[in-house]
Structure 1
Amino acid sequence: MTGSDTAAARLTVHLDAAALWHHRPAYAELVHRARHEGLSGASVFHGLTGFGAGHPNPSHLAAKGPCAVVIVDDEERLRSFLPCVADILGETYAVAVLDRVRIHRP
């Protein structure tokens, strides 16, 4: 069997799961905006423990621990999406990482 690879990009936003945006979880607002912009999809991953700029001490509860929102789409579409979420990123001390990936379909 042969598969096909497609060039794409992955936007990963790292933030605190407890971060709020207008009384709702910031990660939920990121997913909502991704859907509104017509991006391919978004997934939220909650970590059990972590530390970093937003977590000076290790956090052990998922509700208050690290969280990552992952979106895979065309690189230009993701670059265009970043200004749409700049307000959330700035106020929640989130970090956005954009990297190129290859999507493999069997």
Structure 2
Amino acid sequence: MTGYDTLAARLTIHLDTSVLWHHRPAYAELVHRAHREGLLGASVFRGVTGFGAGDPKPGKGPCTVVVVDEEPRLRSFLPLVADVLGEASAVAVLDRVRIHTPGNRE
């Protein structure tokens, strides 16, 4: 059996790991809300170094939250996390992707 491609979208949110949302990391709140909304999947990736709109600060670092699902569902998700994104000075990027699912090799 061979793999197949599925059309989907990827929401990539760039923010600083030190930003808190009600005493918890903002990135954790974003993943929690994605799960609560039943989105296909979400992961957090921490960066070693980076910079964004502000000056780089010691002890802080970049992270990326990646959420994958259908584009309309991700567009509907954005207003649900606008409060967190605004507080975190985050940048969100939405792009179309193909999900490749490898099949079983026999």
* Alpha-carbon shift at residue 60 of structure 1 (Å): 6.6
Residue 22 (structure 2) aligns with: 22
Residue type at the aligned position of 1:16: D
- Please identify which structure carries the higher strand content: 1
Alignment correspondent of 1:45: 45
Trace 1:1-106 onto structure 2 (pairs within 5 A). 2-54=2-54, 56-57=55-56, 61=59, 64-106=60-102
Query: What letter corresponds to residue 42 of structure 1 in structure 2?
Result: A
- Across the aligned residues of Structure 1 and Structure 2, the Cα RMSD in angstroms comes to 1.3
3-state SS of 1:101 partner: strand
TM-score by length of 1: 0.90
Runs of 4+ in 1 over 6 A off after TM superposition: none
Read off the aligned partner of 1:53 and give its amino acid letter. Answer: A
Q: Provide the TM-score with structure 2 as the length reference.
A: 0.90
Contact 1:48 1:60 in 2 (8 A): no
Q: Secondary structure at the match of 1:51?
A: coil
What is the number of equivalent residue pairs in this alignment?
102
Q: Which one-letter code corresponds to 2:47 in the other structure?
A: G
Deviation track 1:14-51 (CA, whole Å, cap 9, x = no partner) reads: 00000000111000000010011001111000001001
Task: Give structure 1 stretches of 5+ with no counterpart.
Answer: none
